[in-house]
Amino acid sequence: MSTQDRSRWDAAYADREPASEAGLPVVFAAHESAFPAAGRALDLACGQGSAAVWLARRGLDVLGVDVSGVAVERARALANTAGVADNCRFEVADLDDGLPPGPPVDVLLCHRFRDPRRYPAMSERLRPGGLLAICVLSEVGGSPGPFRAVAGELSDAFAELVTVAAGEGDGQAWLLARRL
């Protein structure tokens, strides 16, 4: 990512209130029970860390990464406040360079960040039984655009996983799926 784009994300976060609560993204909230309570989790483009901290409180050992240093600092502060700093780490990383190195994970979360180049690596990063939770902007029920998924993009990209639940419409597409 260019320095300019990174600065834009930093400025956007600096303009927002810090996240004050841990929580799964709304789209996954009805499926909380599908998330394991132990193991490793990776949150890609974690923003201010609400979901990562929720996973850590649930009992997972979490790494969250984001290109914005401002977001990462806030995510660390949220983890400290929630008392999970020991099992919830955050790093600045540019996913344009690929996924951060690391062991297979039990949960891979990616909410509102879309880079189809990373779909194969996301799938490969799941250990057997591991859960993918991904939500992206979609052209389905929304306006067409270069940052939006085309119809069927997630189900096609992750066809080798077993779908737990999925949705597409109102401008977003999401998928919860497990590696066999």
The reply on whether position 131 binds ligand SAM by CB under 6 A is no
The reply on whether position 56 binds ligand SAM by CB under 6 A is no
Distances (CA, A) of 32 to 17, 35, 55, 156, 159: 26, 6, 10, 24, 22
* d(C-alpha 101, C-alpha 54), whole Å: 22
| Number of residues near ligand SAM (by CB under 6 A) | 16
* d(C-alpha 126, C-alpha 123), whole Å: 6
Q: Please report how close the Cβ of residue 35 comes to ligand SAM at its closest, in angstroms.
A: 15
Which residue's CB is nearer to ligand SAM, number 65 or number 157?
Answer: 65
The reply on whether position 160 binds ligand SAM by CB under 6 A is no
Q: Which are the contacts of 75, defined by CB distance < 8 A and separation ≥ 6?
A: 19, 46, 47, 48, 49, 52, 53, 64, 66, 90
The reply on whether position 45 binds ligand SAM by CB under 6 A is yes
The reply on whether position 71 binds ligand SAM by CB under 6 A is yes
The reply on whether position 148 binds ligand SAM by CB under 6 A is no
Beta-bridge partners for 61: 40
Residues in touch with ligand SAM (CB under 6 A): 1, 9, 25, 45-47, 66-68, 71, 94-96, 111-113
